[in-house]
């Protein structure tokens, strides 16, 4: 498949990254080995010098991992991918690759809680400063730029507020200022949004979510656009060591075969649920990029082909009502994470965004009663029936 790049996206999901292997298997074998034999001393030396292509040691490169990396790079329209042990490993490796002491980072306010915490702790202890902005307001991004800004880091839609940033406009700001735009594309997946098309330099994912799609793997990926950046990132990842293992790479590669189909169903279900929530008397507000009255609807239309499977909403009864709903759901499961085939519900203020602290949450628009729903691919009627009975428990 890597030989022929002109197939439709849906077909690429099934075939991308798959090559020819001994005995003719139709899926890449799992090369569950930590190391690879050299033919002789010269072969080993040539591999280390980079004068011959081949495998040395799984932390450096592994064929099963590489097949998955090639697949996702192809789906994102990038040059190559780097499989990481988790989404956080992809994020920290990217920061280490692009930032050094004295640099400045602009980051969207609505990011996964531990990303915010990483920036405010380990990254800031290294002498790297950061400004958090409401990235849906392009002017805020522009005003935050300093002479030493090297990276603009965006999640769009942001976790959990689902605010959307204008990738084309922000990539222009980044490039006018010699900075790189890094986009966490976890919430959309390449099936719905390919940030490289809009000028993004580095795309990363928690593959734990939609890419794998089956809630049975923790993994991440970084996709870059050119060979020079790839070599630099590969060296950084090899030194930091947060690589994916072959079995998880195999599972993700298997998962992406159904990515297009799954995303289609996630979007269909989520729109029906968001519209149902919107008219429900116990709901204060709903955010879903597919709702025509969503404040970021128009920006979203420019850069994604579907609004995704994530919904956030606030119950009129605030925190207590949210807690009651979460204790009352029977079909949707009360769990963090997202992007799997099963519907999951959670409360960011006490769970995924707890470590940020109340003040940072309030700045990021994460209200105390905000509930996040990761809409699965089940029959939508079952999800709505469950929410309905849970809402009936609230006074
Ligand atoms: N980026 C985004 C947008 C995420 O939502 C997450 C995890 C990560 C990166 C980190 O990925 P990981 O290391 O877990 O693979 N988000 C989670 C969430 O919202 N609930 O639980 C995990």
Q: How many CB atoms lie within 10 A of CB 242?
A: 21
Q: Which of the 8 DSSP states describes residue 19?
A: -
Q: Which of 85, 111, 159, 349 to mutate to test the pocket of ligand 1 (most atoms within 8 A of CB)?
A: 159
**pLDDT value, residue 33:** 98
CATH architecture of 259-391: Alpha-Beta Complex (3.90)
Query: Hey, where are the domains in the chain?
Result: 9-256, 259-391
Q: What is the pLDDT of residues 192-206, one digit of tens each?
A: 999 999 999 999 999
Query: Along the chain (395 residues), what's the average pLDDT of each consecutive run of 10 residues?
Result: 73 96 96 98 97 97 98 98 98 98 97 95 98 97 98 96 97 98 98 98 98 98 98 98 98 98 98 98 96 97 98 91 92 97 93 86 86 97 98 91
Nearest CA to ligand 1 atom 15: 87
Give the separation between CA 369 and CA 78, rounded to whole angstroms: 39
Q: Which of 84, 109, 153, 186 to mutate to test the pocket of ligand 1 (most atoms within 8 A of CB)?
A: 186
Nearest CA to ligand 1 atom 10: 87
Q: Which one, of 339, 254, 266, lies nearest residue 16 by Cα? A: 254
**pLDDT value, residue 270:** 98
**pLDDT value, residue 1:** 47
Q: How many CB atoms lie within 10 A of CB 261?
A: 15
Nearest CA to ligand 1 atom 22: 337
Domain 9-256 has CATH 3.40.640.10: yes
Q: What is the whole-number distance in angstroms between the Cα of residue 208 and the centre of ligand 1? A: 7
**pLDDT value, residue 328:** 95
Residue positions annotated with a catalytic role: 59, 112, 184, 209
What is the residue whose two structure tokens read 């404040």? Answer: 295
Q: What is the pLDDT of residues 16-36, one digit of tens each?
A: 999 999 999 999 999 999 999
**pLDDT value, residue 174:** 98
Give the separation between CA 85 and CA 92, rounded to whole angstroms: 11
Residues 170 and 135: beta-carbon distance below 8 Å: yes
Q: Which one, of 178, 134, 186, 152, lies nearest residue 296 by Cα? A: 134
Q: What is the whole-number distance in angstroms between the Cα of residue 36 and the centre of ligand 1? A: 33
Give this prediction's pTM.
0.97
Q: What is the whole-number distance in angstroms between the Cα of residue 246 and the centre of ligand 1? A: 21
* φ, ψ (nearest 5 deg) of residue 258: -105, 10
**pLDDT value, residue 273:** 98
**pLDDT value, residue 4:** 55
Instruction: Tell me the pairing of strands 283-287 and 310-315.
Output: antiparallel
Give the separation between CA 136 and CA 225, rounded to whole angstroms: 25
Q: Which ligand 1 atom lies nearest to the CA of residue 372?
A: 19
Q: What is the whole-number distance in angstroms between the Cα of residue 156 and the centre of ligand 1? A: 13
**pLDDT value, residue 363:** 86
């Amino acid at each position: 498949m890597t030989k022929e790049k002109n197939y439709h996206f849906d077909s690429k999901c099934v075939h991308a990254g798959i090559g020819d292997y001994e005995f003719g298997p139709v899926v890449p074998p799992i090369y569950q080995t930590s190391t690879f034999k050299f033919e002789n001393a010269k072969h080993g030396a040539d591999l280390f010098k980079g004068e011959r292509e081949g495998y040395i040691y799984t932390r450096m490169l592994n064929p099963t991992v590489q097949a998955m990396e090639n697949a996702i790079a192809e789906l994102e329209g990038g040059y190559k991918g780097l499989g990481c042990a988790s989404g956080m490993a992809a994020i920290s490796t990217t920061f280490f690759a692009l930032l050094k002491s004295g640099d400045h980072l602009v980051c969207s306010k609505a990011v996964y809680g531990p990303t915010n915490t990483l920036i405010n702790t380990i990254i800031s202890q290294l002498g790297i400063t950061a400004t958090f902005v409401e990235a849906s307001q392009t002017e805020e991004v522009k005003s935050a730029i300093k002479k030493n800004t090297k990276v603009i880091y965006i999640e769009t839609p942001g976790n959990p507020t689902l605010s959307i940033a204008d990738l084309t406009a922000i990539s222009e700001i980044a490039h006018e200022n010699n900075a790189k735009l890094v986009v966490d594309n976890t919430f959309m997946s390449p099936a719905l949004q390919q940030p490289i098309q809009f000028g993004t330099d580095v795309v990363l994912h928690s593959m734990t979510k939609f890419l794998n799609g089956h809630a049975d793997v923790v993994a991440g990926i970084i996709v870059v656009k050119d060979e020079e950046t790839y070599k630099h990132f590969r060296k950084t990842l090899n030194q930091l060591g947060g690589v994916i293992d072959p079995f998880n790479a195999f599972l993700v590669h298997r998962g992406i075969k159904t990515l297009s189909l799954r995303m289609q169903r996630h979007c269909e279900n989520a729109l029906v649920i968001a519209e149902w929530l919107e008219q429900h008397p116990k709901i204060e507000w709903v955010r879903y990029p597919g709702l025509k009255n969503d404040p970021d609807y128009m920006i979203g239309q420019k850069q994604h082909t579907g609004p995704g499977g994530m919904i956030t909403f606030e119950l009129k009864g605030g925190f207590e009502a949210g807690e009651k709903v979460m204790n009352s759901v029977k079909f949707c499961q009360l769990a963090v994470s997202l992007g799997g085939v099963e519907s999951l519900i959670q409360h960011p203020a006490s769970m995924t965004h707890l470590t940020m602290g109340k003040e940072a949450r309030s700045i990021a628009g994460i209200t105390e009663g905000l509930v996040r729903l990761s809409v699965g691919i089940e029959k939508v009627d079952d999800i709505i029936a469950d929410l309905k009975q849970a809402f009936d428990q609230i006074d």
